[in-house]
Chain A
């Protein structure tokens, strides 16, 4: 099968996957053990009020009609209303409001590991079986096994401890821009928007001190959230370097007398990056799952924390809609990953 044929087959497969996911969410919400009326009015709700609610939610319609309504609504992104957490708000509005902090967190949680994990992995791979390699590898393994929630509370305790001057006089509160609390939602108003080109707002200026505060607020949670990916990138980066360094073309380059610096930069690094592509796209899984915990502990009012609150308070439509959005993102990222693979790695498609 040709490379593009493989890609389009994957693309085609994502359509039934999307429908199956929607069906699954529908089954969970409508046919699962939780009664929507009881969830909304309390377990004791009976009589006329419950009947009216039942009618309003459309629970008296035949099941297939409910299903068709549900699927069409979801497909046009009419995700319904929240019941409890933000009573009677449109889910889309909620997502618009709390999406940016999550995106900000995710951005840094991908960036930090990229600039710490991969260089460390490459460094270890270029000096195999040395002490620096062992240190990097072992700390990577331990770092990966640490649960995010535990890292969060330990990191918070350590940072709080530095208030008023901790070890070596380091004080996280006073370090860089001043912040009152080390947890909280970044305000993200460092960009000043205006409309020079008509209706579409366009960022025109940056408030650097506000940006610094936002970055400082997000660094600790992003470090925790990116920890697992950082370790994974370290491990795989190290293996990838070891593999390319022992491959024939590097041998050839060395035989023709190329300088080792040129070998490393021209031949080793670029090829070692290929196996890292799926790791980087896979981070989305970890980020979405981990954002629930990290946002809850660091008090960031993002999508993960709202999902958690929706779950705890029995706000099933909000939780279902958020789950659907996350799934959409992941399906999209999978397609992007296949696309990248098709472009970068010419071997894909011939072997599979």
Chain B
């Protein structure tokens, strides 16, 4: 866990060993903290293993797509020239890709082979040779994985323990605290947790989920405090002031709380929803529900039951009520008769994946470009200005719409996961990086002029190291501010697209589609279908805006008090459009 502390506080690598020694000297507080972490982990081991499996399959998908790019380019080149070119170009590009990965690996590795074997070549050639060697190893591995059964075996072996672990029960499981059961003729409940009514059982489970999330955050904060009091060498760092400023910023704290609730809802979507999405939304005719009818317990498929519990103006299952099949519906049902809260919780998941993908990837591009342009200036800067100006001058919403429709109609591979969600995230990253780059351009140009950057250059630091160690940390804060402000915009845009029937297709739940489904019932008894998702969007977007404001006031107090122009990026980013 020591690594997590260092990465969290952004200590440079060279201090890591020192931190390790400091912990070895006084292991008490660290062990105490680790024990708590172990308890938290044990309680939710199954779910965490499930997340890791999900993450693993996402990484696998990404690797597959990236590995397919050289072949695709090769195919295009072959169409324009001779067919044999496909193999040459494809293989050459694959090697180039692997060389890039190798350079990254060599850069990240703490030691370098070039230092061990010294045979008199210049450092430049040595570095190149080292990378070439790693590339060769990677290429051999890739061939082994693709053309022999080894790949499949390794994949199964790696996934097996996590699959096993993810089947373990956790305290927030439906099996442990069940809210699905039916009334008994005697007036009680059967099949629910301790025979309580489904509403109470569900309430207990939801409280456990948010309680767990809060304790988790408390524990991370505790870890930082332990680090600060016992293991940090400096008594004070500028970051302390940042935290203090944020702690007294109530508007920002409100945003943080709501954002945490949103993320917890997304991560624990199966536990928050009263019925599993698989049974209620994806394949309702493969599962059955038991209920009490005329004093006897009867059985029907969930699909049939859903047909009777539609909220379509004539017939309504409103918020906080039971439907006629003894199912507890905390937020009522949708016009299809499915459970509304299940839709909302899984919709939060969809929004979170899209938002994180968009802001993560877009922010990465923006930071890289801002470092490059601030460091090299000149022609790189002009080219980036032109590229970003071009993307910005195309109306963002229309561009996103067009890209998503074109990829969707072309049945592109990327349009498959999440029924277009991943594709949408990538499109947002492409459309939003220029805006983010513009927002952090000022600060990064300022940093590039600082004396310590000059000093690093004159000490012979490589450009990559100068940018990473001496410039990037100062930009990280700014990208967090704009990322938070933009996330609200991404959520609104996603919802707007699915409201129009584009972007994310059914059955993947999405908030905008709920509003669209319920739009004709707003003035009927089924008002909740369109109203509640809309209010949730307003709340979450406001929270992200508030969090952004809070972060800005904490990280960069002068900008907040000073120039009104800094405001317009944020204001334009988070609002409207959709």
* A interface residues (Cβ-Cβ under 8 A, vs B): 13-14, 16-17, 20-21, 24, 28, 32-34, 39, 63, 141-142, 144-150, 153-154, 156-157, 160-161, 227-229, 231-232, 235-236, 239-240, 243, 275, 278-279, 282, 285-286, 288-290, 292-293, 296, 307-308, 311-312, 314, 316, 319-320, 322-323, 326-327, 330-331, 334
Contact = CB atoms under 8 A, between A and B. Distances in A.
B394 A323 contact: yes
Contact of B401 (A148, A292, A320): A292
Interface of B is mostly: helix
A32 B515 CA distance: 31
Given A236-B564, A289-B397, A326-B398, A32 B406 contact: yes
Contacts of A290: 397, 576-578
Contacts of A13: 385-386, 389
Interface of A is mostly: helix
B52 interface: no
B576 A228 contact: yes
A141 B485 CA distance: 13
Contacts of B568: 232, 236, 275, 278-279, 282
B576 A150 contact: no
Contacts of B386: 13, 16-17, 20
Interface of B: 80, 385-387, 389-390, 393-399, 401-403, 405-407, 409-412, 488, 492, 495-496, 499-502, 512, 515-516, 519, 522-523, 530-531, 533-534, 537-539, 541-542, 545-546, 564-565, 567-568, 571-572, 574-578
16 contacts: A24-B390, A28-B402, A141-B545, A141-B546, A146-B537, A146-B538, A149-B496, A228-B575, A236-B564, A275-B567, A279-B568, A290-B577, A293-B500, A319-B402, A323-B398, A323-B399
Nearest to B76: A31
Contacts of A292: 397-398, 401, 500
B395 A288 contact: yes
Nearest to B382: A13
A314 B409 contact: yes
B522 A330 contact: no
Contact of A145 (B409, B410, B541): B541
Contacts of B502: 311-312
A145 B572 contact: no
Contacts of B402: 28, 311, 319-320, 323
Nearest to B501: A312
A142 B572 contact: no
Identify the interface centre among A39, A320, A327: most chain B CB within 10 Å of its CB.
A327
B406 A285 contact: no
A20 B387 CA distance: 8
A310 B402 CA distance: 10
Most buried by A among B499, B512, B545: B499
Nearest to B495: A147
Contacts, number: 199
Contact of B499 (A293, A311, A322): A293
A148 B497 CA distance: 12
Contacts of B542: 141-142, 145
B496 A147 contact: yes
Given A33-B411, A141-B545, A145-B545, A293 B578 contact: yes
A34 B577 contact: no
Given A232-B568, A282-B572, A286-B572, 11 more contacts: A13-B386, A34-B410, A149-B512, A150-B530, A275-B567, A278-B565, A286-B576, A286-B577, A293-B578, A312-B502, A319-B402
Contacts of A307: 398, 401
Which 10 A/B pairs are nearest by Cβ-Cβ distance? A228-B576, A33-B410, A289-B397, A157-B522, A150-B534, A228-B575, A145-B541, A20-B390, A144-B575, A232-B571
Contacts of A150: 515, 530, 533-534, 537-538
Contacts of A28: 402-403, 406
A285 B395 contact: yes
A278 B406 CA distance: 32
A281 B425 CA distance: 28
Given A63-B80, A147-B495, A232-B572, A153 B522 contact: yes
A142 B542 CA distance: 7
Contacts of A154: 522, 530-531, 534
Contacts of A279: 568, 571-572
A229 B502 CA distance: 25
A40 B394 CA distance: 26
B534 A327 contact: no
Given A285-B395, A288-B395, A289-B395, A147 B572 contact: no
